[in-house]
Amino acid sequence: MTVATQDLALVANTIRGLAIDAIEKANSGHPGLPMGMADVAAVLWTEFLRWSPQEPQWAGRDRFVLSGGHGSMLIYSLLHLAGFPVAVDDLKQFRQLHSKTPGHPEFGETIGVETTTGPLGQGFANAVGMAIAAQMEAARFQNPLLLSRVFVTVGDGDLMEGISSEAAALAGHLQLGNLVCLFDDNGITIEGHTDLATSEHIGKRFEAAGWSVQHCDGHDVDQVRKALACATAATNRPQLICCKTTIGKGSPNKANTHDVHGAPLGKDEVAATKQALGLPAQDFFVAAEAKRTFAAAAARNETQRQRWHAEMQGWEAKAPDLAKAWRAFRARSVPADLVEQLAAAAGAEPAATRALSGNVLQKAAELVPGLVSGSADLDPSTKTRLKKGGSFTAADRTGRTLHYGIREHAMGAIMNGITLHSGFLAAGSTFLVFADYMRTPIRLAALMKLPGAFVFTHDSLMVGEDGPTHQPVEHLATLRAIPNVHVFRPADGAETGAAWAHALSRHDGPVVLALTRQNLDKLPHAAGWTAREALRGGYVLVEVAGAKATLVATGAEVSLAVAAAALLAQQGVPTRVVSMPCLELFLQQDASYRQQVLGKAAVFTLEMGRPEWWCQLTGRLDRCIGQSTFGASAPAKVVAEHFGFSAKNVADRVVRAL
């Protein structure tokens, strides 16, 4: 479907008008991007992109990602014109409380928004993940109808962020031919022209990474159309289209300046811009011709959607078993006894929780087909490779293990993209000390209420000889500080199974698993105890009569707490022990359960990390036994003894505090 040049110009100018009016009304926003990319977006959305307001989650749709989320009025204007539930009144509420049009696009808040974008580069890496997921899904179910295309717009800011290089390199290596990136090449950032900070040739960078690269005038719709036609015809490499644009296109006095990037045009410049664009002075004007152009595109897409469903019905009739598996995959179904099966799979022998997690993961892969896993080049240490199913490569799209390379930041955002795409749940791993490289994608997963399993091993000072650069101290506390993240630090195989069951069952946010490098002792569970108790976040491991203290511990420190409690009993200080694998889940329990677990005696906490977070249980910092300084390079047991993590020292701390 080819749209007349004058009609595309009217669509683009309508987008520009809506953007500047919404931003002016809010007295806040970024008009430069939507004004500059309006022509490119008009061609993409009316001639190439597959979308459906009747079925926004249509599995056969294309994915559109606005990586530069500050330019959100571009996607809101497009969604309005396309007939999604974004009305003019919603545009008038831009950046207002509880509106459908927040300052940056938010997944789950606005129908048609595929991912939350704003932190630059994240959306680009999300798009790489979506393209991977589409390739996986189509190959697994042997159905090319599931091979959706992914279009992502990026700006100079996205491409300056290091995550874009990480993600682009992996996309090129994997030959993701269903990925098209549109670069808003306007040469402007917040401080001024880009030559203040960079002289990089973006096209050559992407070519070196294995992408096919084209260049076009982003305001010449014929050139944009030709570039998109070429990009969508290719199937063996990801595509970059460098669209030379003018930021704030149409503004007589602010176009091609950094002034138009992130501030309203102002009343006088709005009037001048509308006059220059041939738009009427009225606010939020939508040209009837623009509506008709989008109505025609909607009709084309509706025909494609109906054809897609008819072809899917034919596929289901020919491959009923695959179709049944596909529907279960899309629903993210898990067995009712997942906890029990995974706890059993861990094994009962004392071992490092990273090894126990590796055992659990193999069983989880059998039970949860949507689970895919990978690591940042650390599987020999983190044990997250799925032994059955092979690796996802350019030659084999059915593989379930991803090799991200040493690219933690991209790994986290790509995981989010994979999970956003359909029925997959992505797991990815590295050492806990490198969690900071992934903090933004973890935060965005939590904000989007997106499931996922972020696996971090080597979780304490017990890393030993590698020293303070590799010994996490503050990381558990900072991860717990992110709202809606559940941090699970299991102490044995049963708790590890429960942690994975929670990660695979949770639908409203991510789960972090913090796992040990060192082997752990067996825990003295009471008769009748089951792993489901761990899903309450905390439980009584050792109960005693007349307790004078309760030691709450996580992970490897639980067995240390048991040993310290035995010494305290010899000193006439009966001490209970509580295992607290997930503080967030424990705090969600009712008050009576929390009181029952914590008991009436003085509460102490024990964890090899920053102690302050635990004051909410103890009420006093001197009862929080932890680590507030960097570690040291030495054998693990020497390090632990040096910093006071011995049964005797813990017992002495309790006695002194009492």
Tens-place pLDDT, residues 48-97: 999 999 999 999 999 999 999 999 999 999 999 999 999 999 999 999 99
- The pLDDT score that the predictor gives to residue 89 is 98
In a domain, 489, yes or no: yes
- The pLDDT score that the predictor gives to residue 59 is 98
Mean pLDDT of all residues belonging to the chain: 97
- The pLDDT score that the predictor gives to residue 487 is 98
Last residue of a domain, one of 260, 286, 303: 303
542 contact partners, CB below 8 Å, separation of at least 6: 524, 562, 565, 575, 576, 577
- The pLDDT score that the predictor gives to residue 574 is 98
Confidence of residue 349 (pLDDT cuts 50, 70, 90): confident
User: Any catalytic annotation for residue 408?
Assistant: yes
**Residues 207, 81 share a domain:** yes
CATH number at residue 489: 3.40.50.970
In a domain, 328, yes or no: no
- The pLDDT score that the predictor gives to residue 348 is 84
**Residues 642, 541 share a domain:** yes
> Which candidate, 520, 528, 526, 509, places its Cα nearest to that of 554?
520
In a domain, 331, yes or no: no
The full DSSP string for 526-568 is PTT--GGGGGGS-EEEE--TT-SEEEEE-TTHHHHHHHHHHHH
**Residues 277, 142 share a domain:** yes
- The pLDDT score that the predictor gives to residue 213 is 98
What stretches of 376-478 adopt beta strand conformation (E)? Answer: 401-403, 425-431, 453-457
Last residue of a domain, one of 514, 543, 563: 514
Last residue of a domain, one of 276, 303, 330: 303
**Residues 569, 645 share a domain:** yes
- Do the beta carbons of residue 243 and residue 214 sit within 8 Å? no
Sign of the CA dihedral with 248 first, then 249, 250, and 253 last: positive
- The pLDDT score that the predictor gives to residue 606 is 98
- The pLDDT score that the predictor gives to residue 358 is 98
Residues 586-600 have a mean pLDDT of 98
**Residue-range definition of the domain harbouring residue 569:** 535-657
- What pLDDT, in 10s, does the model give residues 111-124? 999 999 999 999 99
CATH number at residue 594: 3.40.50.920
- What pLDDT, in 10s, does the model give residues 265-275? 999 999 999 99
In a domain, 130, yes or no: yes
Confidence of residue 288 (pLDDT cuts 50, 70, 90): very high
- Is the pLDDT assigned to residue 149 strictly greater than 90? yes
- Is the pLDDT assigned to residue 157 strictly greater than 80? yes
**Residues 46, 171 share a domain:** yes
**Residues 439, 377 share a domain:** yes
- The pLDDT score that the predictor gives to residue 523 is 96
Q: How far apart are CA 241 and CA 541, in angstroms?
A: 59
**Residues 483, 393 share a domain:** yes
- What pLDDT, in 10s, does the model give residues 404-444? 999 999 999 999 999 999 999 999 999 999 999 999 999 99
**Residues 403, 287 share a domain:** no
In a domain, 313, yes or no: no
**Residues 217, 264 share a domain:** yes
The pTM assigned to this predicted structure is 0.98
Catalytic residue among 114, 137, 166, 408: 408
**Residues 451, 499 share a domain:** yes
- The pLDDT score that the predictor gives to residue 73 is 98
**Residues 99, 209 share a domain:** yes
Beta strand 539-542 with 575-579 is: antiparallel
- The pLDDT score that the predictor gives to residue 77 is 98
In a domain, 525, yes or no: no
- The pLDDT score that the predictor gives to residue 85 is 98
28-63: buried (b, 16+ CB within 10 Å) or exposed (e) per residue? ebbbbbbbbbbbbbbbbbbbbbbbbbeeeebbbbbb
> Which candidate, 358, 356, 363, places its Cα nearest to that of 342?
363
In a domain, 323, yes or no: no
The total domain count for the chain is 3
- Is the pLDDT assigned to residue 1 strictly greater than 80? no
In a domain, 551, yes or no: yes
Beta strand 150-155 with 63-66 is: parallel
Percentage, residues of the chain above pLDDT 70: 100
**Residues 576, 444 share a domain:** no
Residues 461-473 have a mean pLDDT of 98
User: Tokens representing 366?
Assistant: 């059998």
